[in-house]
Every structure is written in C-alpha cells, then in structure tokens.
Amino acid sequence: MIISHKYKFLFIGLPFSASSAISKELHLQYEGEPYLRKHSLYHEFKKVATKEESKYFIFAVLRNPMEIAVTVYEKMKTNAKGNFTNPELFTENGGHITKQHRARFNFINENNATFQEYFLRFHKKPYDNFSSLTIDECDFVIKYENIADDYLLALKKAGVESPRPLPVANKTAGKKKDMLAYYTNDIKQQTISVFGPFLAKYNYSFPSEWGRVNVPYLSTLKFKTYGVLRKINEKYFKKHSKRKSIKGSIYGDMQRNKS
C-alpha cells in the first residue's frame, strides 16, 4: 500500500498484479510512501486513516486470475528471488509467504510437477482473491491487460498533470505467452468451475477457442457463499499488523534509499 500526501492518492497493491513495479514508481516519482503492509487492504486503511486521508483518490490493479495462477506457478517453479525459501518473508515472521505457499512450492519442486498437475491438486474451489475486498472501494481500477494506458489515466485522475509512463517490469521467467499452453483440455472443465464465477463478476472471458462456456451453478453459489464468509473473516476476525513492513519487498528498497 502506497500513499502520497502531495497528490492525495492511495495505491492498494494486490498480489501478482504489478504492485511492486507500480509501488516503486510511485515512490520515486510522486512522493509515495509505504503505508501499513505491502498488501494491506482498504478496510485496514479505513481503520487508521485520518479524516483527510479517507478522502484520497484510491486505485488498484485487477488481473485475470488465469494469468495469476500461471504466474504463481512459474514463480514457485523458479523460486523467484529466493522468496519461497527465505524465512524472513514467512508470515509467522512478518512476511507474506504463507505455509500454503510453501506447501505448493514444495509440491512443484519435489515432484517436478507440471502446471496441469499443480492446478488439479491445488485449484479445486471457486477462485477468489483480495480483489473482492478492494475493487468496490476504488475510485479507479487499472486493468492489468491495459496497464500502460490505465496507469497513466489513474494518475491523471488523481491530479498528476504529466505522469511518466510506467517502466516495463521484469517478466516472469519461463512463462509462455500462449495461455492455452497451460490450460489444456485435460483441465478445461476444472478450469471453468474454478475461474468461471470470478471471470463473470469482473467481465473477463475464457479463451475464444473454447467456444461457449457454461459455468456450473454450484460453482457460482459456492463463490458467492465463500465470498461473504471471507469478507467477514478478513474484516472482523483476522488480525493484521499495523506497523509498516519493510521485509523482502520494494518497501525494503525504499527504506534503504532514504538512508
């Protein structure tokens, strides 16, 4: 989460949606500063924001979850930046790598698992992410698929007169350009059940090559039910650290640049 008191905006960085690249640019160019944790959500901000801060322009990035699943798999497969084996980044030590992340990382690397094997094992319930706890509270949503233009538009809406284009970030190593290379026919039906409700909610589509897709009603019902329960758990039962975390992220780089 990055806040700029000069331009009066708040950027909510959702995982695997260019949050590090945008956070770095907002820090370097627009006096953005870390606020709470890297992936803190709107309701956490609302609890501690001043009356003036609560009026700031809020934006975030929304990304197709089918792309996110592939990105996560490839990052785990290559242990990107050593994140999945760095104890400082584990949640029990104040970081963002959960035990679930490590279990998936171990499965992929101990079994040399393909994406299809990984997906069938770990993606069974209807997919949801922190977008459902954030997007509705935003003044503007950047679509990852149109990030270059939407990023500039977001800053202009925030009052920045001549924003600089977002620098091209490093792409995930090993990732194939064709999404169908991952979502093969043997996992097609499970893919529809898992991602269908989320895609429908945020106006995404399955690959055109799949033709007409019917999302099972039960998947949609579960998606809505889990969503309600998740919001209740996140807002009222889950504990969050109110300190500014600087571990293992662009936050650490920001802190070092100031020293």
pLDDT of residue 243: 41
Long-range contacts of the stretch 23-28 (C-beta < 8 A, 24+): 23/250, 23/251, 24/250, 24/253, 24/254, 25/164, 25/166, 25/167, 26/2, 27/2, 27/250, 27/254
Task: Give me the number of domains the chain comprises.
Answer: 1
Q: In the predicted model, is pLDDT for residue 162 greater than 60?
A: yes
Q: Which residues pair with 58 in a beta bridge?
A: 10
State pLDDT tens for residues 41-80. 888 898 899 999 999 999 999 999 999 999 999 999 999 9
How many other CB atoms sit within 10 Å of the CB of residue 143?
15
* Whether this model's pTM surpasses 0.85: no
User: In the chain, pLDDT over 70 holds for what percent of residues?
Assistant: 87
Region 8-34: mean pLDDT is: 92
Residue 145 has pLDDT above 50, yes or no: yes
Domain membership of residue 259 (yes or no) is no
Rounded to the nearest 5 degrees, what angle is found at the Cα of 26, between the Cα atoms of 24 and 32? Answer: 105
pLDDT at 249 (0 to 100): 47
As a whole-number percent, the residues of the chain with pLDDT over 90 amount to: 66
- At 27, which helix (H) or strand (E)? helix 19-30
Q: What's the CA gap between 80 and 18, in Å, rounded? A: 15
Write the pLDDT tens digit of every residue in 238-258: 655 444 444 444 545 554 444
Q: What's the confidence (pLDDT) of residue 246?
A: 42
Q: Which whole number is the average pLDDT over 89-115?
A: 92
- 257 lies in some domain: no
CA dist 135 and 115 (Å) reads: 28
- Is residue 246 assigned to a domain? no
121 occurs within a structural domain:
yes
CA distance readout (Å), 242 to 34, 35, 100, 224: 12, 9, 23, 29
- pLDDT of res. 174: 59
**175 in a structural domain:** yes
Range of the domain at 59: 2-239
177 is a domain residue: yes
- Contact criterion met (CB below 8 Å) for 246 and 252: yes
**Residue 258 domain flag:** no
Residue 103 has pLDDT above 70, yes or no: yes
Residue 149 in any domain: the answer is yes
